[in-house]
Structure 1
Amino acid sequence: MKQSKNEAVFQDEVLTRFELFKSLFLTLPFQRVKDTGTLLPFFAKQCEKGVDQHLTPDEIIKSFFDQHEEFSSEEQRIDLLFRFVQYIERQVVLFDAIEDSSFQMVGRGDDENVLGALIKNAEGNGDMRRKIVSKLKDFSVRLVLTAHPTQFYPGPVLGIINDLIDAIKTNDIHSIHLLLQQLGKTPFINKNKPTPVDEAASLAWFLENVFYKVASEIQSFIDDELDVDTEEVKQLIELGFWPGGDRDGNPNVSVESTKKVAALLRTILFRCYYRDFRIVRRRITFRGVEEYMENLQTLFYENSFNPVEHPEDETDNIITNLKAIKNVLEEYHNGLFVEIVDDLLRKVMTFGCFFTTLDIRQDSRILRDATDYLIQQNQEATGVPLNYLELNEADKQKALKFKELDLSVGDDADPLTKDTSGVIKLLKEIQRSGSERAAQRFIISNCQQASDILGLRQLFLWSGWKKDALTIDFVPLFETVDDLTRAADVMKTLYSNKEYKAHLKRRGNKQTIMLGYSDSTKDGGYLMANWSIYRAKIELTAISREYDVDLVFFDGRGGPPARGGGKTQRFYASMGKEIANDHIQLTIQGQTISSQYGSLDTARFNIEQLLHAGIISDLKQRVGDTLTKHQQEIIDKLAELSHHKFMDLRTNKLFLPYLETMSPLKALSSINISSRPVKRNSGRELRLEDLRAISFVTSWSQLKQNIPGFYGVGTALQWAEKNNLWKDVQQLYVSSGFFQTLIDNCMMSMTKSNFDITAYMKEDKVYGEFWKNLHAEYQITKEYLLKLSGTSKLMENYPVDRESILAREGIVLPLLVIQHYAIRALNSDKLDEAQREDYSKLIARTIFGVINAGRNVA
């Protein structure tokens, strides 16, 4: 097949340059690095050959050391394998930097500069321009950064990557060489488990170095191109933040850590402002601005370097002074340097004194326990029956009186009850220092009934909040297939509730609902998870429109395809008329943050993609994106069959043992990657419902089997062909953006799979048949996806993305062989304690490298 233009550019600008710059590692002044770099190509070739021959990891590694007898002892061999891992980790960083530096040159085909093209096309079309401006007046994209542990670059490494990007763009070999030396000396892993505050500080790097600049630039571009006032369009790009606020299943998040993170975000923002203000002050040295300049100097400096315990929201004060400076420049100084004042003014209007909204999240079961505690301690004051938790749903709703009280939690309370009470009170303080936008949302995980939301509202009213000043949005999170099925009924009950209806009216009749992809994929498999969420969106939109509620969907989907990610913008662009799409909100998690938003170029591209998707789904909606009843019935059946296939796998008695024994799942709990435990109820034996979705997906991706991203799809498509529905499915793929993206993301997940690496498992006495079952579904799914898409290889329609994935998979192949070698050694029970520790560390290190290289690993 003829190579496309973009493929050829990718080959020249990325793959060829990677091979050239990779040789620089050999010139680094570290002897051990040089030795490692010389041997690694031979080891990589041995791994590649051995995997093709379906050899065991033991056989592959033994054959390598048989050829290099200088590594005769176990200790020498383990040491070399560690050095291979460290070397490959740094090769991954180099590849990241080269790929990102070439981002604009390589291009992304039809996705390239779509927002700019749309706005340019509206220049001569007054009607189109009016529609776009009207849409933008009440539209926003909110990116919510989460601390899910799927990317492990520490801040210093991220800084090196960005500096490398700049040096590679200009072919500055001297700087590249120095940066690679720095990289060689910079540690990649934390010695200690990070705290929630550590995680917040790590993610704040992206806020300070990427989003602060890009959000303002995009806003400025739209304002200028459409000739609209910033205040007219309001805030197009919003940011959300979970580290320090997300306490669901994370006992390490406390009131104190939430308070520290809120203060950290405010301080970092003011330091960004102060840096910009110094430029303003250096350029604007004219008369008439002295008073305003002094005011701003004091405001920015004191809040940056001498923050007080209880700061106030200074947004209006800053804006007033900046506007005063702008007026003086325009009236007396010919508008000289007014553009740098406008730039800072736009940033202050975008970020205020909060930078990003700090979301609070907790499980509904914890919130119920907190409600029950206050009832038991204050039954007479609350007027709620002592057996409240035992009541049926209707009686629970009647029992809540919504009294305004200020109840305290005693020392006898459970720690999580104390935390719930404390954070509800803390939210008032955070809002005082940064407006309600600093922290306005409380997300209820595992939300199953209307009383979960009503009960949380009651907790606020028992904690000193007043009904007419309750500036909090209560956000139910529906994740499991069953919860998604009930979601519309839950919301109908809420919309009908007199008290909640009054609360919504005070909040502008706007309701945010979060839909989670991670646990739904683990719960029902890829096809059922995606379809359940899509169907729930249709039902929730209908109910919300019936009650005249402005519905905002917040999607927990910004990771790999197996967790709802992939070509995310294509999902949003394909929402039919039956789905509310006035706002786009999604979580950005793990390596997706660095891969899609780690540099100015990639962040600008991906944010503009989402903005374009939101506009185009409203203005130029394709007929096929609103599914017909027949099409919905077809997908219903496909999802049902896929679900049955996935549940057969899940209920197999070998399912969890296979994951625990053959993947690095156990190692995930022992490495310092996150403040959050790998599973809920960590003190008891592993159960699937306790296993976090992130650990579930990561384990399958380390096996290079990616079951959550495809399993059951092939079986469902095969049924469609056998039952004379194949033409209907083909038509769905052509006409429905939702279905096409669903299938294309499935292909992406499968492209990142490689069953050859674990082919040796088919001979395993315990798990051989289980592995064959997984592989058979992979084969049948691949066959039908290629048939459906009319292509000869997976991701043929996305050649650049495909080449990037395959290159990365090639880089980490030796890591995977080492990882499986170490897992098998640990499973053998032939190691002493010291050896077990060495092999455990080896597994941990390979996990880091494989995930960092994966960029949406599954």
Structure 2
Amino acid sequence: MTETPETGRLEKDLPLRDDIRLLGRVLGDTLREQEGDEIFQLVESVRQTAVRFAREGSPSDRAELHRLLDGLPPEDMHRVVRAFAYFLQLANIAEDTHRSRRRREHEIIGSPPREGSLAFSLDAVIREVPDAADHVAAFFATALVSPVLTAHPTEVQRQSTQHALQQIADLLDRRDRLTLTPDERQEADETLKQVVLTLWHTRMVRSERLRVIDEVKNGINYFRSTFFTELPRLHGDTEDLLHARFPAYEWSLPPFLRVGSWIGGDRDGNPFVTAETLQETVRLQASATIEFYLDEVHALGYDLPLSERLVPVTAELSALAARSPDASSQRLDEPYRRALIGIYSRLAATAHALGLPAPIRQAIGTDAPYATAAALRDDLVVIRDSLQQHGGARLTTGRLRRLVRAVELFGFHLAPLDLRQNSEVHERVAAELLSSAGVCTDYALRTEAERVAILSKELAGTRPLYSPHLSYSEEVAGELAIAFAARELRERFGDALLPHYIISKCDGVSDLLEVALVLKEAGLARGGASPTTEMQIIPLFETIDDLRRAGNTMDALFTLPVYRSLVTSQGNVQEVMLGYSDSNKDGGFLTSGWELYQAELALMRVFAEHGVKLRLFHGRGGSVGRGGGPSYEAILAQPAGAVSGHIRITEQGEVIASKYATPDVGRRNLELLVAATLEASLTDHERRGEHADHVAQDFHPVMERLSAVAFRAYRDLVYETPGFVQYFRESTPLAEIATLNIGSRPASRRPSERIEDLRAIPWVFSWAQCRLMLPGWYGFGSAIAAYLADTPDGLPMLQRMAQHWPFFRTLLSNIDMVLAKSDLAVASRYAELVQDVELRQRVFAMLSAEWHRTRDSLQQITGQAELLAENPLLKRSIANRFPYMDPLNHLQIELLRRYRDAQATGADTDDERRRRGIHITINGIAAGLRNSG
């Protein structure tokens, strides 16, 4: 048979199908053994019917699903729900394994570098940029690429579940990479069955709400599983790649890729983050870091048993060995081992000095602690230099090289931790401090100009406002305690621990000056003629109005002498954070994207005028409705000049697990970020092709028109349609998500039914559960329809925009993905949960009409006959997984109906069981969608 692209793709996907069948068979066997043949046959009948219905859409199959699932006793319903939820999680493992398999196969056969790899982006720079080596060297000299793990969980899996799933992933990987003997294959199969059995008997959902410290521990686990090894490895591989491309240069790169965290420092709307929480967070981070160093130093001792009777060493190495407390006669001629034993002893002493737990493996003797991580690095460099100078250079390219880099990256603090709080809280803190000190008793009533004048005067002075002899409200005392704790922790662990202070809901100059005032009271900023700050103060612009004012706000700040002095003290760099989630909830997907783009253009102009370097921090979530989507394309869709070697991006929710749970997948995603940042910084990615000069001149005005219509359509639905809030709350599992124990913070910023007060995560997560995905597409269809009605010959312009403008092309790609993951038929069944029939029919008719307008508009522009025509991998993934989601949606609707009816009638029998069943369906549907929060 002649191979076509389709048959070739099917052939390549055979291992994936084999893995899915294997995992499905093991799960099925476990189900039969543990729950009986009757339950197994029920699940199998549901599975076969759901697959058949997904393929053929037969009404008889839908009716059969109703017959099989409606009226199931609660215990049987739970068993069916768990079976399908686990199957989707196992299918995800198979897909991730297959992606790694395909990537390895390409590397083995020597395929050209693939898009998203560092080699691909570097080759693009070499092709397009004159004197590429000089530009690449300049890029890496100052580059900062930083994914930031945030305390915004939509990850519904427990750690115990994730551990079992990771074991399964390791087993699949081993089967794929190794040729096993029959006995080894039998043992591997038996181990797989044992892990799946363990999974089946493991509680799927949490019985209690996560504490902040639980979230911290979860975040640290990703360092243990991925970041400790892959960040140093990627730095080393990058140096090797640059050596290969530019052999005339010496490549010794500073750390350019750092993983940050908000977890334990983000107080916005989370009353459980206190000074004590911050201190415990740092203690846990430092403990994990030094534990890792101790293990690596111990392993190096086994790697380097070199005898100075056989090979000389440097004088520095001899001195380092001589300081070691190791007096064993067996190692007198092994200076490297003795030096490493000394390093181990100093690390153990460092742990004690920092108030951390003692290492499990005790040091041989006592020694002085390291004052800084740089001192530890210096000792490791002594070992490296001695090896390199005496025939052992090859011994420095493995574990030792990675450990030196790890110390540079992680210090003793693990990850830079951001502090964040809402601007309204800072206003109250400043008002109380000023009032208590007798400076101003009516600060909250003052105009913005008056506030700026008052704050500027205080920042230019040197006297404190805070006094330990005064009493403050609980809120103000708590905020000051955080600032004082931050100062003390920075003194113990170094400035890199707490470098940033982020202000959410920032909308004016006084918001930043209020934070500067708090930092000054804590000793983290200094007043006087030229005020300074030790922490970067970062505004977060979140609403549509705030984004539109962002440029003017920063212009006013830089014009203010006192703030300009603070910027100077930070190396003339100012970071600005842009909020994708709340701007989407405020103005809809299309307008949010466009206003973010325009805000970046405005900020670039203002920063250039003032001679300040702009660093952007993108507050993206996992779903398209919260700024998600493929990271590589998203970075390249930024305006030309907006990246410039510096970028920070939040990583949130279940996306953290999907990107970083395993070393191989984590390495790939880290490399994507670096590759995209390099390419976006050094190539003119917005101006490629024959329409390069038309981006601003022709495309921007069209986008402005589209955004205006989309904004109005979205606002009319969400904020102006009578009864919409009721429809949303009744047709989605919003209330049940709020009790899911997936995070430590409340679902709303304040007790209220308003959409404005609801956090973006439950807003987006709820629409994903009912398979409508509204935040990722609503308004686009109306915008395109209105544009083409006013401009009948406008379709070619839209097609040129799609072809030649990365921003618009990425926008269309994300809409394509979201529409493909949505299902109006399923959503219509959730609509039946709305008690008011007229409201249900009216609102769902609006949603359905806009969905069809959006799909038709997308296909008009792209010329595709069906969704995901140009994304066969995602199309395949959806085809594999979605038939197994339909039964979960069906059962979720039934459980919601039973649970709400019981609540309405006051009956409390089986309430807890129903709620637990709902939570398990939420878990399974989230696993099937993968990027839903």
* Match for residue 696 of structure 1 among 753, 757, 763: 763
**Structure 2 residue 45 is the aligned partner of structure 1 residue 42:** yes
Change in 2 beyond 3 A, CA 1:313/1:244:
farther
- Are the equivalent residues in 2 in contact too, given 1:409–1:421 (CA < 8 A)? no
* Match for residue 168 of structure 1 among 169, 172, 175: 172
759-768 vs 191-200, which moves further: 759-768
Q: Give the corresponding residue for 1:102.
A: 98
- Are the equivalent residues in 2 in contact too, given 1:136–1:233 (CA < 8 A)? yes
CA distance in 2, matches of 1:850, 1:711: 21
The amino acid across from 2:442 in the alignment is N
The amino acid across from 1:326 in the alignment is R
How far 1:136 moved relative to its partner? Answer: 1.6
What does 1:672-821 correspond to in 2, within 5 Å? Answer: 672-682=741-751, 685-722=752-789, 723=791, 724-760=793-829, 764-821=837-894
Q: Give the corresponding residue for 2:181.
A: none
* Match for residue 295 of structure 1 among 337, 342, 356: 342
How far 1:54 moved relative to its partner? Answer: 7.5
Name the SS of the counterpart of 1:477 in structure 2: strand
What does 1:446-485 correspond to in 2, within 5 Å? Answer: 446-467=505-526, 470-485=533-548
**Structure 2 residue 898 is the aligned partner of structure 1 residue 825:** yes
- Are the equivalent residues in 2 in contact too, given 1:733–1:739 (CA < 8 A)? yes
* Match for residue 923 of structure 2 among 829, 833, 848: 848
**Structure 2 residue 284 is the aligned partner of structure 1 residue 221:** no
- Are the equivalent residues in 2 in contact too, given 1:111–1:609 (CA < 8 A)? no
- Are the equivalent residues in 2 in contact too, given 1:662–1:823 (CA < 8 A)? no
570-579 vs 533-542, which moves further: 570-579
- Are the equivalent residues in 2 in contact too, given 1:9–1:106 (CA < 8 A)? no
1:745-783 superposed Cα distances (whole Å, 9 cap, x missing partner) = 111111110111133467744311211210111111111
Q: Give the corresponding residue for 1:247.
A: 267
- Are the equivalent residues in 2 in contact too, given 1:747–1:794 (CA < 8 A)? yes
How far 1:14 moved relative to its partner? Answer: 2.1
Name the SS of the counterpart of 1:758 in structure 2: helix
CA distance in 2, matches of 1:323, 1:726: 62
Q: Give the corresponding residue for 1:284.
A: 304
* Match for residue 396 of structure 1 among 440, 451, 459: 451
* Match for residue 385 of structure 1 among 430, 434, 440: 440
The amino acid across from 1:144 in the alignment is V
- Are the equivalent residues in 1 in contact too, given 2:85–2:920 (CA < 8 A)? no
Q: Give the corresponding residue for 1:573.
A: 636
Unaligned runs of 5+ in 1: 67-73
**Structure 2 residue 413 is the aligned partner of structure 1 residue 338:** no
Q: Give the corresponding residue for 1:536.
A: 599
Name the SS of the counterpart of 1:807 in structure 2: helix
The amino acid across from 2:348 in the alignment is Y
TM-score by length of 2: 0.85
- Are the equivalent residues in 2 in contact too, given 1:542–1:578 (CA < 8 A)? no
Change in 2 beyond 3 A, CA 1:65/1:661:
closer
CA distance in 2, matches of 1:54, 1:687: 39
Q: Give the corresponding residue for 1:315.
A: 373
- Are the equivalent residues in 1 in contact too, given 2:601–2:639 (CA < 8 A)? no
CA distance in 2, matches of 1:411, 1:252: 25
Name the SS of the counterpart of 1:593 in structure 2: helix
CA distance in 2, matches of 1:243, 1:481: 26
Change in 2 beyond 3 A, CA 1:114/1:591:
same
- Structure index of larger Rg: 2
CA distance in 1, matches of 2:537, 2:19: 50
CA distance in 2, matches of 1:849, 1:708: 21
Change in 2 beyond 3 A, CA 1:24/1:522:
same
How far 1:522 moved relative to its partner? Answer: 0.5
1:32-78 superposed Cα distances (whole Å, 9 cap, x missing partner) = 27654432121234556789568999x77661168xxxxxxx7x711
CA distance in 2, matches of 1:424, 1:840: 40
* Match for residue 563 of structure 1 among 599, 621, 626: 626
**Structure 2 residue 78 is the aligned partner of structure 1 residue 82:** yes
34-43 vs 238-247, which moves further: 34-43
How far 1:12 moved relative to its partner? Answer: 1.4
Q: Give the corresponding residue for 1:133.
A: 137
* Match for residue 152 of structure 2 among 148, 151, 168: 148
Q: Give the corresponding residue for 1:523.
A: 586
How far 1:580 moved relative to its partner? Answer: 4.3
Name the SS of the counterpart of 1:337 in structure 2: helix
1:505-551 superposed Cα distances (whole Å, 9 cap, x missing partner) = 11110001000100011000000000010000000111001111110
- Are the equivalent residues in 2 in contact too, given 1:720–1:726 (CA < 8 A)? no
Identity percentage of aligned residues: 23
How far 1:304 moved relative to its partner? Answer: 5.6
The amino acid across from 1:826 in the alignment is Y
How far 1:267 moved relative to its partner? Answer: 0.8
TM-score by length of 1: 0.93
Change in 2 beyond 3 A, CA 1:786/1:411:
farther
CA distance in 2, matches of 1:410, 1:815: 60
How far 1:302 moved relative to its partner? Answer: 4.4
Name the SS of the counterpart of 2:145 in structure 1: strand
Change in 2 beyond 3 A, CA 1:761/1:598:
closer
The amino acid across from 1:703 in the alignment is C
CA distance in 2, matches of 1:558, 1:127: 37
- Are the equivalent residues in 1 in contact too, given 2:150–2:261 (CA < 8 A)? yes
Unaligned runs of 5+ in 2: 107-111, 176-187, 309-317, 325-338, 358-368
- Are the equivalent residues in 2 in contact too, given 1:50–1:60 (CA < 8 A)? no
736-745 vs 134-143, which moves further: 134-143
**Structure 2 residue 223 is the aligned partner of structure 1 residue 207:** yes
Name the SS of the counterpart of 2:260 in structure 1: strand
The amino acid across from 2:78 in the alignment is F
Change in 2 beyond 3 A, CA 1:423/1:332:
same
The amino acid across from 1:22 in the alignment is G
Change in 2 beyond 3 A, CA 1:305/1:26:
farther
Change in 2 beyond 3 A, CA 1:549/1:636:
same
